[in-house]
Structure 1
Amino acid sequence: MTNDPAILPAQGAILLVDKAEGWTSHDVVAKSRRALGTRKVGHAGTLDPMATGLLVLGAGPSTRLLTHLVGLDKTYLTTIRLGYATVTDDREGERISTADAGAMGEVTPERISAAAAELTGDIMQAPSAVSAIKVNGQRAYDRVRAGEAVELQQRPVTVHAFELGEARHGVDDTGAPVIDIDATVRCSTGTYIRALARDLGKALGVGGHLTMLRRTRVGPFDVADAVGTEALAQGGALPLLAPTSVATSLFPRLDLGAEQTIDLGNGKKLEVDPSVVPDASIAAAVGPGERLVGLVQVKRGRVRVVTNFPVETGGAP
């Protein structure tokens, strides 16, 4: 066991973490700061303490990449319990309604599939009332905890896939009938999986909430490649992703010569041959030595910086 910080490269790095249940996203960031020996650590989207799975972190100059990672699609594994609703839309919240046995008896596999199909594709979704969205300057979850009834406005999201497993019938700890369903959800950023569970239960007239949530993918990043939170807490060597490899996995690559690297790094616009370099709303400009110079826009042979990536002194090469 070691608590020595990992050596952070001069351009920083992206770190994938498999968050354990009970940890907050802030806990993971705090542990990463200690493990990497830098205060400059951010994330590309939080997970609730109840949830587990993939957090994408950026450290050092690579935090500048996070803005471009937040909007990536995400994949979740989850378990939905039909039979009652909670104030938080998950198992940690107070029960606010319970379906009777008659209503539960009318919930068939066909009705469940039809309701899930209505929640697939481009839909309007009201976020969970205990989300971090601000209402009149105050977080929605703070208003709920203060006893207020909060209803957030619907917003457009895309559910690419809402795949359901077999329904398992049982009873909860009060003896009331429940139906548990495992599901895989692929969705756009901003989609609330708790709200999907809530809306599925509402469509079936029996209420619903999450009992388990695990994020397995963010864009091209897989939780199988992530370091666990316990290993993160122990410190030492970590599987760091170079910003150049991350950027070029997401965006077209534009290779620069030494002089172009200097010019672009100084904020100058570049001219390239439009017959060779196609237009791109975002491209990864890479200089000699696989240095990520910046994310750029290419339009009709003109290259301008969208986000530059400096090299911090004192880091590893």
Structure 2
Amino acid sequence: MDVKDFYFELPQELIAQDPLEDRSSSRLLVLDKDTGAVQHRIFKNITEYLRPGDCLVINDTRVIPARLFGVKRDTGAKVEILLLKRREADVWETLVKPGKKVRPGTELSFGGGQLTASVLETVEDGNRLIQFHYEGIFEEILDQLGQMPLPPYITHSLKDKNRYQTVYARHDGSAAAPTAGLHFTEELLKQIEEMGVRIAHVTLHVGLGTFRPVKVEHVLDHHMHSEFYMVEEAEAKKVNEAKEAGGRVICVGTTSCRTVESASTEDGILKAGTGWTDIFIYPGYRFKVLDALITNFHLPESTLVMLVSALAGREHILDAYKEAVKERYRFFSFGDAMLIASHPEAKGQ
């Protein structure tokens, strides 16, 4: 299976640069994963495709303002740090620019010395382990000094930090938002619950590895970075009870999907617990828990296009993407959404 099998033409102007004012007014492409048939709707119409007894799984991770701009203490040269994952209390794995000039032993300063750091060592992919020093609460200092780590394809600056958070974001730790969840408003979630759909929370702290371009020719040679996940007992119970009663498990986003698939047994029982996952889902994968997926439109040749192809088949996905391009859907983080399900029928149709 070659990476180029997952390529599609995407005009640059379809990459969404700004979030819509009303989260739930984005467009929704509904794809029948069995037949490849598509319907064009608005995201708030998602309620028409949900049924009492279904379980919607959402990732409640919160994006931290993980981009820091500072200087080298000895020379005053500018540096940029992106926090990727917390290794210990004040030790983080980071992406550093310019990497060549920030070697182990370098001392850094941010916010005029409000936050300082020592570079400890170089790890996988040239990332650096950095230990931070400060007085007070790290998260509060980060809120003051850090910027939201928007993906490189978004060139506009974000007016409101909260637009790169889901309305249900709870647990700090992500370097990127679980973007399929950005379409939900509190009102829409309340409406969904009142319909008799359970909402289960899981947490997966999204690292940049999810979006890392696949640089190998053959899909199987690609290695995913590990990400931390957490499933609480009460939330696992909601998923398992829905499944047992014949309801569908509908994951909001590829991160929720990867969490439930990582934390479940071979016979599809979701287990509570915490852990690290580097699960890589591509065509041929047999889903254990997930029945349907709400997701955004992804980058050509990315692991996320491979994941949705595992669910609906490569041809159906590429045809749906071609249709989305033709219909001028908005792509990537601030773009439109897609529901992939078996025989999705809107009520009243």
TM-score range, shorter chain: under 0.3
Q: Which has the larger radius of gyration?
A: 1
| TM-score, normalised via structure 2 length | 0.25
- Higher strand fraction (1 or 2): 1
